[in-house]
A and B are shown apart, each in its own frame.
Chain A
Amino acid sequence: MMASSYNAKDEDGHHPGSVGSGGPGAVKSKKPDNTAFKQQRLPAWQPILTAGTVLPAFFMIGLIFIPIGIGLLVTSNNIKEFEVRAVAIATSYCVIRALCSYTAPRTKDFSNVFMYYGLSNFYQNHRRYVKSRDDSQLNGDKSSLLNPSKECEPYRTSDKKSIAPCGAIANSLFNDTLELFYIHPNGSRIAIHLVKTGIAWWTDKHVKFRNPGENNNNLSIVFQDTSKPVNWRKPVYELDPSDPDNNGFINEDFIVWMRTAALPTFRKLYRIIQKKKDNMTPTLPPGNYSLEVIYNYPVRSFDGRKRMILSTISWMGGKNPFLGIAYITVGSVCFFLGVVLLIIHHKYGNRNNNADIPN
């Protein structure tokens, strides 16, 4: 791809005097060693970027990127995403066990459908917020459990008991409950089975987050000297009483929440709707659905918004046309530049060819 010349300058023959007399007793000649390195004559590859060499590269990039971009865009467009700005309009009446129903997506996808909740104008990346956690407490460290890090202030202790899990992040755990019902054409509501696990990173769930007292199944005893975070309704060991592998610090909703979002508008994975076993019926058959939200989480005070998103996932993740557009754009720009350069190259080609060989 590049015009290159291997410029191995041959070294002069070593002088026997300077090299041979390496012994400690020998009179050290001040003559500098004649090595390629010291004489700055290391063999070197000297690539030269010229229109002639970059031209094919541009075409190549164009030819590779445009298909990738198209592929990405198609993939992204194939991802079915259904967004409910649920609470935006329904703040007043979706109060408790509010029932909001919507016409659901008509997906024919046979893959898993992922259910996200989204918040906007929620600064999970605020510094005071980000650092307000104690990872060693979350890792099951006994001493940190009873004496959490200073960083957790002002969510460190309550009622003279240490808070577990301490800190602002844990304290503000998203605690709305979302449920999805399929409204059968005959009028009956069928609850869709939402899987709670597999939503957090495997390493987080299995290494980074550990319940204290590893083998003690009775979490209430382990956490007995601690107090629940002030905003929580129930203590940490009751996050999911039904499944001991999803309770306490290793509760996946909790772990997902603890991974602070990068931007103030974010979505977090809430549940997974498993695809049907037979691969014949779509995961969510077309029809009407009703979303039931148990509304606990206040967002009005900071001018926030809540969303619920149902989305399928491709190999590139969720729906995001940005990458596809970017690849197509860059590919076309490269191709265009290639054409321009080709014209330049042809016009002034002769001279450039001469210049390609500098030595």
Chain B
Amino acid sequence: MLRRRLNRLCGGDEERVDSRTIYVGHRPCPDTEAFIPSKFCDNRIVSSKYTVWNFLPKNLFEQFRRIANFYFLIIFLVQVIVDTPTSPVTSGLPLFFVITVTAIKQGYEDWLRHKADKEVNKYPVTVLEDGRSVKKESEKIKVGDVVEVVEDETFPCDLILLQSSREDGTCFVTTASLDGESNHKTHYTVPDIEKDLQTLTSAIECEQPQPDLYKFVGRMHIYKLEQEPVVRSLGPENLLLKGATLKNTKKIYGVSVYTGMETKMALNYQGKSQKRSAVEKSINAFLLVYLSILISKAVVCTTLKYVWQSKEGQDEPWYNQKTQKEKDTNMYLKMFTDFLSFMVLFNFIIPVSMYVTVEMQKFLGSFFITWDKDFFDPEIQEGALVNTSDLNEELGQVEYVFTDKTGTLTQNNMEFIECCIDGFQYRYRDTQSEVDGFTVTDGPVNKLQQKAGWEKEELFLRALCLCHTVQVKEAGSEVLVDQVDGIDGLLSQPEEERGFIASSPDEIALVKGAMKYGFTFLGLESKSMKIKNRQNDIEEYKLLHVLNFDPVRRRMSVIVQTKSGETLLFCKGADSSIFPRVRPEEVDRIRMHVERNATEGYRTLCVAYKQLSAEEYAMADTGLREARLALQDREEKLMAMYNQVEMGMSLIGATAVEDRLQEEAAETMEALQGAGMKVWVLTGDKMETAKSTCYACRLFQRGTELLELTVRTLEDEKLNSDQKLHELLQEYHNKAVKDAPPVKAGVTRSWSTANQDYGFIIDGATLSLLMNPPHDADASQYKSLFLQICQNCTAVLCCRMAPLQKAQIVKMVKNSQGSPITLSIGDGANDVSMILEAHVGIGIKGKEGRQAVRNSDYAIPKLKHLKKLLLAHGHLYYVRIAHLVQYFFYKNLCFILPQFLYQFFCGYSQQPLYDAAYLTMYNICFTSMPILAYSLLEQHISIEILLHNAALYREIANNAMLRWRPFLYWTVLGIFQGLMFFFGVRFLFSNPALQDNGQVFGNWSYGTIVFTVLVFTVTLKLALDTRHWTWINHFVIWGSLAFYVFFSFFWGGIIWPFLKQQRLYFVFANVLSSVSAWLVIIILILLSLLPEILLVVLRKPRGHHSQQKKQSQSNVGGNQSSQSSARPLLMRTFSDESNSVM
């Protein structure tokens, strides 16, 4: 660490070099004139924040950076320095408690990190040094060391794979701890490396460390004796990342390139940016109000004090002389300290404990999500996951839902439905799984046998078998081979599921589809792919190149060599990217099928091939190799090369894969819309498929008028796309915004169908045009038009989105007027950006790896769980925390108000009304537990009703319980009760002889009576608000009242040796011996609660009535949806006419 810092300080120029050179085994290379061992950081991982020495100052500094803690520290310091009415203990103790608990928690976490670091850093590794294997501690690895790793070990640093014990020079790796993907990934050794690593002399040039796990660019110069140095390109497939685990491979050797804090894992280890919830913003706003109340109280008191003192004989009567020091103090300084004293006296209005309670509520409350067995998915044997507890209540405030399509709305459980070879449709049926497994549905039965000849079929199936990056799982492969003979056996065997591993489920579906038709992929071994054809012969193909899939090209290709020496290129990809690259005359026959399949909601891929002549291949080969070696602009060069190779192919067919809708996807979407949320589908998929999914999910309904803003609608003969865009935007705006009857922003979709529903469709290209129009001036205008249109649409579909565009859209909506709360839900790596961007990010534990889950705030196994998460958990959490916050402010207002009023009766002398113990304990012990229990357990409406009646969600929309109106209500209530407490007892004390033996009460009795009334009223107020009394609520509410009584007796029952003044000695007992005190306590409690009871009673009938109505309405909707969902999913979207006319 230190060295790295030094480097940064002194050798700033080194940082600017954009590549680093590593000498394998620290052996200088012939080419380089001077061997300068450059300095790299060592392999120590430091994830801990503190050391023993800096823990205290650093931790304290971090804690006091929080505004609240700082405020309390100031108050405490004022109490220490200035002569204040309450001892520093009253605010010091809670603050100390909070700080200590936090420090212990953070210290413990850091200790765990230290332990983990140590474990990693001290882990023994084997390093090859001068021909011998030397055991070393992991932290001592230097860049350039050759490291040996055996099976099931994790890599100690980022390594370039030099040698593997597997013959084909590959090794398998699982990156479960990095990105959660547990499948095995293949990594390759650098070609042309000698077997004896001792004699290997080479230099590696690679880029400076960067955090992207999937990107690595490097070049390896291999020097051989009396030979020209060979240059090999290095890519991510050669790089073994620290943290990944070696699998299925006995032993590998690798040279370390990035170590310690420069490994990709360490660079990725960065805390996510903190998301703050709207409730927290409200708390801060209320805090400001209370702070100003506090300050104005202090100012009022200080002013009045000096006004009062100016009267003769008031300031210093004979019986109450000032000390010499006080007399000497400067008048203005005195005023200032008086002001501070008042601040301290009233500072309890902003309690430390609120922060503690809120934190605790959030932390403990989030367990209910993890515990919920409704979120448990038996398939993956997992429940929901909570990554942050800060946003629980935000789940109850969502206005916009951005959802991914694949894997989120749909299951991402691909099933090969049909294919189309040379224009003829093949649909597989289980029932006729004989001989070749071919059956033909409806259409051109006879044509098939005649036209789509045997050869074409086989070519197509071979293409399916070869053009992919699927692996056969080692362990299961034997079993698989055994079962290949019986096709029917295969289909039902679960082993088959485990047989293939691929990055995308489409590929597995295709390989499996090919298997159904008799072509089985057996595996890839040392660059040769084996497939078993229909005659059960094994064919071998040499894999020459893989032209990887990427979302921009939307296709992938392989170049293989057959036994006979032919070189073939197979390419599969989206229709839009394949069609321009094949002969146009072939397209028409297949396009029909593709489009039909797409409208049915299937994912379609086109398959093309091309035969490469030897010259062509040679050209492609060199071109590809060169591009791969390039250090700069490798991506662009590769892209260009790919495009060049994938030209002039011939189309052989198309496939259709069904991506089933998630369970209850339609119901969930309907519930979300019923709850007033607007659902936007952001997908990378093509428009037709996405549209049909939207229909299937009932996001678009039959009556919905679709407003399309896509590349297709922008095509116009006269106008260029920009002008057309402008025109369309205006048109749609007129339609959706101006003509629509004015509706409130929050309530868009009313239950009556009188209003026309609009759906909006936009695609990626148009969006980028819209975001970055040619004329900058239009940008904001377009954006606002777009947003206005979207806000008036029930559902918006954005298709063909790049991941970054998804985030862009989320950001745009997030920052739009009224800053609505957004929620993103997705399952794949492409959704991470939008998950991070939205207020609440939800990951689905889907099939596309764990990246979304890792970056999300909450993760759920299935989409259907979103309904309960938002409608039940979110709603309840919001109500709970909103009530918690309001209640806290309220209870402290009526706690401190009597103390303020008392100043008017004690000569503004800052005399506290309550004893110090009561001041300290009020928020910690007497009133904290009931509200905590309430905020964890309250269900003002039962979960069933919440789930059943989505419209209830709207009642808390727009932060309804933390707006200024409810805040004002609680504040007025607090003031009313505070006045009650004080003046009720004040009138009682007009004759302080309250005991039946004529003895009188003093000021501490006064305070104790007020405090007793206060504690009881505040607790009973909560009891009134509690709709859901579990035994815990009973225990805590009655328990804390009992505790208060017990404590008061106890506190007053002993002469406490450590107290300077025995103020409360037997005060409470004496108070309770007075009938008048009892009577006044009872009547004040009742009187304080009376308005509340009255309000509840008077409000009830109206609330119930509307609730009932809504319930009946939603019943209608519910019946309908259950009816229609019984039908096949895709059928009903287009034939629902009879049902959807209302």
Residues of A with Cβ closer than 8 Å to B?
Answer: 7, 29-34, 38-40, 42-51, 54, 61, 65, 68, 72, 112, 114, 116, 122-136, 139, 149, 151, 153-155, 168, 171-172, 198-201, 203-204, 207-208, 231, 256, 259-264, 266-269, 272, 298, 301-303, 311, 313-320, 322-323, 326-327, 330, 333-334, 337, 341, 344, 348, 351-352, 354-355, 358-359
B370 CB-CB contact with A under 8 Å: yes
Minimum CB–CB distance for B590 against chain A, Å: 46
Interface centre among A33, A130, A200, A264 (most CB of B within 10 A): A130
B992 CB-CB contact with A under 8 Å: yes
- Which residues does chain A contribute within 8 Å of B1029, judged by CB atoms? 44-47
The answer to whether B319 touches A199 (Cβ under 8 A) is: no
Question: Given that A47-B1029, A207-B1055 are known contacts, is A135 also in contact with B1061, CB under 8 Å in the complex?
Answer: yes
Which are the 9 A-B pairs with shortest beta-carbon distances?
A172-B319, A318-B993, A355-B1104, A262-B1006, A38-B371, A127-B909, A114-B998, A317-B994, A42-B1030
The answer to whether B317 touches A123 (Cβ under 8 A) is: yes
Give B1067-1108 as 1s and 0s: 1 = Cβ < 8 Å from A's Cβ atoms.
Answer: 001100011100110010011001001101110110011011
Residues of B with Cβ closer than 8 Å to A?
Answer: 85, 312-314, 317-324, 367-368, 370-373, 375-376, 381-383, 905-907, 909-912, 937, 939, 942-943, 945, 984, 986-1007, 1024, 1027-1033, 1055, 1059-1062, 1065-1066, 1069-1070, 1074-1076, 1079-1080, 1083, 1086-1087, 1090, 1093-1094, 1096-1098, 1100-1101, 1104-1105, 1107-1108
- Which residues does chain A contribute within 8 Å of B905, judged by CB atoms? 125, 262-264
The answer to whether A123 touches B907 (Cβ under 8 A) is: yes
- Which of A122, A125, A344, A354 contacts B1003, CB < 8 Å? A125
The answer to whether A154 touches B1076 (Cβ under 8 A) is: no
* Chain B residue with Cβ nearest A326: B1083
Question: Given that A272-B998, A302-B317 are known contacts, is A34 also in contact with B1074, CB under 8 Å in the complex?
Answer: no
The answer to whether B1105 touches A129 (Cβ under 8 A) is: no
Q: How far is the CA of A68 from the CA of B1062 in the complex (A)?
A: 36
Question: Can you list 22 A-B contacts (CB < 8 A)?
Answer: A29-B381, A32-B370, A38-B367, A38-B372, A46-B942, A50-B1097, A123-B317, A123-B906, A128-B322, A130-B1003, A133-B1061, A199-B998, A199-B999, A200-B999, A262-B1003, A264-B906, A316-B1076, A317-B994, A323-B1079, A330-B1086, A351-B1101, A359-B945
The answer to whether B1030 touches A43 (Cβ under 8 A) is: yes
Minimum CB–CB distance for B1074 against chain A, Å: 6
The answer to whether B994 touches A341 (Cβ under 8 A) is: no
Q: How far is the CA of A267 from the CA of B1000 in the complex (A)?
A: 8
The answer to whether A201 touches B990 (Cβ under 8 A) is: no
With contacts A207-B1066, A322-B988 known, what are 5 further pairs, Cβ within 8 A? Answer: A44-B1030, A46-B942, A61-B1086, A261-B1003, A334-B1090
The answer to whether A31 touches B998 (Cβ under 8 A) is: no
* Chain B residue with Cβ nearest A337: B1094
The answer to whether A266 touches B939 (Cβ under 8 A) is: no
The answer to whether B373 touches A31 (Cβ under 8 A) is: yes
- Which residues does chain B contribute within 8 Å of A171, judged by CB atoms? 319
- Which residues does chain A contribute within 8 Å of B1096, judged by CB atoms? 49
Minimum CB–CB distance for A205 against chain B, Å: 11
Interface centre among B319, B382, B998 (most CB of A within 10 A): B319
Minimum CB–CB distance for A352 against chain B, Å: 5
- Which of A130, A149, A208 contacts B1062, CB < 8 Å? A208
* Chain A residue with Cβ nearest B1062: A135
Q: How far is the CA of A72 from the CA of B1080 in the complex (A)?
A: 12
The answer to whether A122 touches B373 (Cβ under 8 A) is: no
The answer to whether A172 touches B371 (Cβ under 8 A) is: no
The answer to whether A320 touches B381 (Cβ under 8 A) is: no
Interface centre among A45, A125, A315, A334 (most CB of B within 10 A): A125
- Which residues does chain A contribute within 8 Å of B1090, judged by CB atoms? 330, 333-334
The answer to whether A126 touches B911 (Cβ under 8 A) is: yes
- Which residues does chain A contribute within 8 Å of B1098, judged by CB atoms? 51, 344
Minimum CB–CB distance for B679 against chain A, Å: 27
* Chain A residue with Cβ nearest B1031: A42
The answer to whether A266 touches B1094 (Cβ under 8 A) is: no
- Which residues does chain B contribute within 8 Å of A260, judged by CB atoms? 1002-1004
- Which residues does chain A contribute within 8 Å of B990, judged by CB atoms? 263, 320, 322
- Which residues does chain A contribute within 8 Å of B1055, judged by CB atoms? 139, 207-208
Minimum CB–CB distance for A295 against chain B, Å: 15
Minimum CB–CB distance for A33 against chain B, Å: 7
Minimum CB–CB distance for B1084 against chain A, Å: 9
The answer to whether B382 touches A30 (Cβ under 8 A) is: yes
Question: Given that A127-B909, A263-B905 are known contacts, is A301 also in contact with B1076, CB under 8 Å in the complex?
Answer: no
- Which residues does chain A contribute within 8 Å of B987, judged by CB atoms? 322, 326
- Which of B383, B943, B999 contacts A31, CB < 8 Å? B383
Minimum CB–CB distance for A30 against chain B, Å: 5
The answer to whether B997 touches A323 (Cβ under 8 A) is: no
The answer to whether A327 touches B994 (Cβ under 8 A) is: no
* Chain B residue with Cβ nearest A125: B906
The answer to whether A261 touches B1002 (Cβ under 8 A) is: yes
- Which residues does chain A contribute within 8 Å of B1005, judged by CB atoms? 262
- Which of B319, B1062, B1065, B1104 contacts A358, CB < 8 Å? B1104
- Which of A68, A314, A333, A351 contacts B1079, CB < 8 Å? A68
Question: Given that A123-B317, A322-B988 are known contacts, is A203 also in contact with B1066, CB under 8 Å in the complex?
Answer: yes
Q: How far is the CA of A316 from the CA of B1105 in the complex (A)?
A: 48
* Chain B residue with Cβ nearest A68: B1079
Question: Given that A38-B368, A72-B1079, A129-B320 are known contacts, is A267 also in contact with B993, CB under 8 Å in the complex?
Answer: yes
- Which residues does chain A contribute within 8 Å of B989, judged by CB atoms? 262-263
Q: How far is the CA of A351 from the CA of B372 in the complex (A)?
A: 37
Q: How far is the CA of A49 from the CA of B1060 in the complex (A)?
A: 48
Q: How far is the CA of A316 from the CA of B1073 in the complex (A)?
A: 10
- Which residues does chain B contribute within 8 Å of A131, judged by CB atoms? 1061
- Which residues does chain B contribute within 8 Å of A139, judged by CB atoms? 1055, 1062
The answer to whether B937 touches A201 (Cβ under 8 A) is: no
Q: How far is the CA of A206 from the CA of B1033 in the complex (A)?
A: 42
- Which residues does chain B contribute within 8 Å of A45, judged by CB atoms? 1029
The answer to whether A315 touches B943 (Cβ under 8 A) is: no
The answer to whether B909 touches A123 (Cβ under 8 A) is: yes
Q: How far is the CA of A53 from the CA of B672 in the complex (A)?
A: 36
Question: Given that A268-B1000, A301-B313, A326-B1083 are known contacts, is A351 also in contact with B1105, CB under 8 Å in the complex?
Answer: yes
Minimum CB–CB distance for B685 against chain A, Å: 32
The answer to whether A203 touches B1065 (Cβ under 8 A) is: yes
Q: How far is the CA of A313 from the CA of B998 in the complex (A)?
A: 6
The answer to whether B320 touches A168 (Cβ under 8 A) is: yes
Minimum CB–CB distance for B345 against chain A, Å: 9
The answer to whether B322 touches A154 (Cβ under 8 A) is: yes
- Which residues does chain B contribute within 8 Å of A54, judged by CB atoms? 1093, 1097
The answer to whether A208 touches B1093 (Cβ under 8 A) is: no
- Which of A32, A200, A313 contacts B996, CB < 8 Å? A313
The answer to whether A264 touches B368 (Cβ under 8 A) is: no
Q: How far is the CA of A267 from the CA of B1059 in the complex (A)?
A: 28
- Which residues does chain A contribute within 8 Å of B1024, judged by CB atoms? 49
- Which residues does chain A contribute within 8 Å of B1001, judged by CB atoms? 262
The answer to whether B993 touches A33 (Cβ under 8 A) is: no
* Chain A residue with Cβ nearest B345: A127
Minimum CB–CB distance for A175 against chain B, Å: 11
- Which of A42, A61, A129, A263 contacts B937, CB < 8 Å? A42
Question: Given that A123-B320, A125-B911 are known contacts, is A201 also in contact with B371, CB under 8 Å in the complex?
Answer: no
Question: Given that A114-B998, A259-B1002 are known contacts, is A49 also in contact with B1097, CB under 8 Å in the complex?
Answer: yes
Q: How far is the CA of A326 from the CA of B312 in the complex (A)?
A: 37
The answer to whether A320 touches B1030 (Cβ under 8 A) is: no
The answer to whether A319 touches B991 (Cβ under 8 A) is: yes
Minimum CB–CB distance for B628 against chain A, Å: 43
* Chain A residue with Cβ nearest B905: A263
- Which residues does chain A contribute within 8 Å of B1033, judged by CB atoms? 44
- Which of A32, A72, A298 contacts B376, CB < 8 Å? A32
Question: Given that A40-B937, A313-B997 are known contacts, is A51 also in contact with B1101, CB under 8 Å in the complex?
Answer: yes
Question: Given that A262-B1002, A355-B1101 are known contacts, is A298 also in contact with B318, CB under 8 Å in the complex?
Answer: yes
